[in-house]
Chains A and B, each alone.
Chain A
Amino acid sequence: MNKTINQKAWYFVIPVFVLVAFNAAIPLMTVVNYSFQETFGNNVFAWEGTRWFKQILLSERFHASLGRQFAFTFIILLIQIPLGIAIALTMPKKGWGVPVCLILMSMPLLIPWNVVGAMWNIFALPDIGFLGYTLNSVGFDYNFTQQPGDAWFTTILMDVWHWTSLVVLLSYAGLNSIQPAYYQAAEIDGASRWATFRYIELPKMKKVLTLAILLRFMDSFMIYTEPFVLTGGGPGNTTAFLSIDLVKMALGQFDLGPAAAMSLIYFFIVLLVCWVFYNLMMKNEAQS
């Protein structure tokens, strides 16, 4: 059989090509451009080679914000994933409770990010905010604008409030896809509640949990708006996570070269962690 030669199909690829070009490739190349050169405005560039990259990688400021970033992401994953699963397990499976729970759960996800930040800022103010005032009146010396520990506590609490729902919804979907026969079989075997969770629910939720962890990792690693509105990176630099630090460098100090280099390093870290994570998960998948 002769294959019909028709190259017109390539035209169908053009929209995607254009979209990706303007959406990702061209902006990224601009950043790459800045990262290797020094500029003083007026479109005058001077070649700097890998100087900015070396500078960033060796700078203590970058190490500190990277460390804060990993700590933050690690802590919120540690809280949100188990909490999300736990909430999903207690949600009703049928009846009027299902829509009620689902809507309540989706609420925080629907609120714009800077609104979340503003909300929590006011909520946590030690003099007038409900949370801040209450904590102080029961004897805690709480002030998130001045004490780093309190600032971290508030930021983490805000993120848990904002994003645990996502883990809940994903886990709930995973749980609902388990056929009732599995539970019956476990019941007949006399398996305990914990064994049912460990050997039926958890393995069956593996795929959605992988997705949840990956999404929460990426989102929290790139977090900007909420802490920016809540603490502005302060007090001092104690809650300046990577993207907050990056914006300070790029727009505050107008160090475009180092900021571009930092962006690329930042991007590669996210890419690398996702790649490692994905491969580990897939390797597990292939084994089982």
Chain B
Amino acid sequence: MSLELKNVEKKVGIDTHIHPTSLKLEKNTINVLLGSTLAGKTTLMQIMAGLDKPTSGEIWFDGKNVTGMKVQKRNCSMVYQQFINYPNYTVYENIASPLAITGVKTDEIKQRVGKVAELLKLSAMLNKKPDELSGGQQQRTALARALVKDSDLILLDEPLANLDFKLREELREELPKLFEDRDCIVVYATTEPSDALMIGGNTATLLEGKVIQYGKTLEVYNKPENLISAKVFSDPPMNIAEITKSGDNCKFTDNDVQWKSSAKIKDGTYKIGIRPHNITTYKEGNNSVEINGKVQISELSGSESLIHFTNGNLNWVSLSNGTQQKNVGEDTKLYMNTDEFLYFDQNNRLVNNG
């Protein structure tokens, strides 16, 4: 069982929402679609579900061409960013609804709903209406409706985006476990790189209607094929600068900071990408290099500190552990872990992938 998109393209009027895309999703996998708003995640999911038809290209499921087949005839379920439940059904009736429509027997419905409800901690709320539940519980109900059906394809469209922080964390931890023993393909759309890392599985990075890279989540994160993919998969944004390399010596074009690189690449000019957590207020790794910075913004995020600083033309973000208070305008020393630098050539392709 697999879901395959073959050269799928979606145009609306003169706008191209999805550029020709080919993607193969395997059975028993969780696939994250990672990209900012309007990257085409939702459109892609709707095409996968059959809620929307591609302008050209084909969709194959389980070895069959299902392009243009209606969603009712496919066995899929979807969870949305908004909490979508039937407003005047109880939680029980909501979860049971997909089964009731397909004519499953009452006893079986009862048993299956009970099981899913327990899994999603809804057992105590089965007789309540969605309005009486918290946001988290409403979304759990929607998830339960998606799970109870034994779908071949489960689509989750930013399911955690409308939840508050605590609930989001809680549900995010549970999600991968929910799909563990299921015989299905899960697609999960999110704007947050941290969601993708937490969920694991495979990740496709998207930008402006194009799939930039698809692969195992950690691989995409550690070895982005190109600069765009690296940018999509970085929050806070990746720091980028131009460098020149001659021999083992590397040097920024914009300032005098130098370091020795073990990357096996030719001499010349490159772009490097540095993830914010590889620039810290303390030394990390054996090959860290000092850089001076003028603090622009200093903010705390939980137990981490974000320091936005400038160095000449560079306007960068660093992410350090602990609460590091810096004053705006202060000159400070930061350390870059050069082992983690990503080197891109003039065509923005990653070159130090070895």
Instruction: Report if A181-B86 is in contact (Cβ < 8 Å); known contacts: A189-B101, A190-B72.
Output: no
Interface-central residue, B82, B84, B101, by most chain A CB under 10 Å: B84
Q: Does B131 contact A (CB under 8 A)?
A: yes
User: Which A residues lie within 8 Å of B102 (CB)?
Assistant: 190
B89 (CB) vs chain A CBs: closest residue: A199
Please state if A184 and B78 are interface contacts (CB–CB under 8 Å).
yes
Please state if A188 and B71 are interface contacts (CB–CB under 8 Å).
yes
Instruction: Report if A288-B84 is in contact (Cβ < 8 Å); known contacts: A187-B51, A188-B76, A189-B97.
Output: no
User: Within residues 81 to 99 of chain B, which ones have a CB less than 8 A from any CB in chain A?
Assistant: 81-82, 84, 86-89, 97-98
- CA–CA, A197 and B239, complex, Å: 52
Please state if B86 and A288 are interface contacts (CB–CB under 8 Å).
no
Give A94 Cβ to nearest chain B Cβ, in Å: 12
Please state if B82 and A179 are interface contacts (CB–CB under 8 Å).
yes
- CA–CA, A191 and B129, complex, Å: 20
Please pick, from A181, A195, A288, the residue contacting B129 in the complex, using a CB distance under 8 A.
A288
- CA–CA, A187 and B81, complex, Å: 17
Please state if B131 and A181 are interface contacts (CB–CB under 8 Å).
no
- CA–CA, A187 and B102, complex, Å: 13
Please pick, from A185, A187, A195, A288, the residue contacting B131 in the complex, using a CB distance under 8 A.
A288
Instruction: Report if A185-B88 is in contact (Cβ < 8 Å); known contacts: A190-B101, A288-B129.
Output: no
Q: Does A119 contact B (CB under 8 A)?
A: no
User: Which A residues lie within 8 Å of B98 (CB)?
Assistant: 188-190
Number of residue pairs A-B, CB distance < 8 angstroms: 51
Q: Does B77 contact A (CB under 8 A)?
A: yes
Q: Does B259 contact A (CB under 8 A)?
A: no
Q: Does B60 contact A (CB under 8 A)?
A: no
Instruction: Report if A203-B71 is in contact (Cβ < 8 Å); known contacts: A189-B98, A189-B101.
Output: no
Please state if B87 and A188 are interface contacts (CB–CB under 8 Å).
no
- CA–CA, A185 and B72, complex, Å: 10
Q: Does A182 contact B (CB under 8 A)?
A: yes
- CA–CA, A200 and B77, complex, Å: 18
Please state if A199 and B72 are interface contacts (CB–CB under 8 Å).
no
B98 (CB) vs chain A CBs: closest residue: A189
Q: Does A68 contact B (CB under 8 A)?
A: no
- CA–CA, A190 and B49, complex, Å: 13
Please state if B101 and A191 are interface contacts (CB–CB under 8 Å).
yes
User: Which A residues lie within 8 Å of B84 (CB)?
Assistant: 179, 181-182, 185
User: Which B residues lie within 8 Å of A248 (CB)?
Assistant: none
Give A138 Cβ to nearest chain B Cβ, in Å: 45
Please state if A184 and B51 are interface contacts (CB–CB under 8 Å).
yes
Q: Does B341 contact A (CB under 8 A)?
A: no
Give B113 Cβ to nearest chain A Cβ, in Å: 14
Q: Does B179 contact A (CB under 8 A)?
A: no
Q: Does B252 contact A (CB under 8 A)?
A: no
Give B145 Cβ to nearest chain A Cβ, in Å: 8
- CA–CA, A168 and B82, complex, Å: 27
User: Within residues 138 to 164 of chain B, which ones have a CB less than 8 A from any CB in chain A?
Assistant: 145
Q: Does A204 contact B (CB under 8 A)?
A: yes
Give A199 Cβ to nearest chain B Cβ, in Å: 5
B81 (CB) vs chain A CBs: closest residue: A181
Interface-central residue, A179, A185, A190, A203, by most chain B CB under 10 Å: A185
User: Which B residues lie within 8 Å of A189 (CB)?
Assistant: 97-98, 101, 145
Give B56 Cβ to nearest chain A Cβ, in Å: 23
User: Which A residues lie within 8 Å of B76 (CB)?
Assistant: 188
User: Which B residues lie within 8 Å of A181 (CB)?
Assistant: 80-82, 84
Please state if A199 and B86 are interface contacts (CB–CB under 8 Å).
yes
Give A188 Cβ to nearest chain B Cβ, in Å: 5
Give B97 Cβ to nearest chain A Cβ, in Å: 6
- CA–CA, A288 and B86, complex, Å: 12
Give A218 Cβ to nearest chain B Cβ, in Å: 27
User: Which A residues lie within 8 Å of B77 (CB)?
Assistant: 188
User: Which A residues lie within 8 Å of B46 (CB)?
Assistant: 184
Please state if A203 and B88 are interface contacts (CB–CB under 8 Å).
yes
B80 (CB) vs chain A CBs: closest residue: A181
User: Within residues 31 to 59 of chain B, which ones have a CB less than 8 A from any CB in chain A?
Assistant: 46, 49, 51
Please pick, from A187, A191, A203, the residue contacting B87 in the complex, using a CB distance under 8 A.
A203
- CA–CA, A103 and B353, complex, Å: 63
Q: Beyond the given A189-B145, A288-B88, could you list 17 further A-B residue pairs with CB under 8 A, ordered by the A residue number?
A: A181-B81, A184-B78, A184-B80, A185-B84, A187-B71, A188-B77, A188-B78, A189-B101, A190-B98, A191-B97, A191-B101, A199-B86, A199-B88, A203-B86, A204-B87, A288-B87, A288-B129
8 contacts between A and B (CB under 8 A): A185-B78, A187-B71, A188-B98, A189-B97, A191-B97, A200-B87, A203-B88, A288-B87
Binding site for B on A (CB under 8 A): 179, 181-182, 184-185, 187-191, 195, 199-200, 203-204, 288
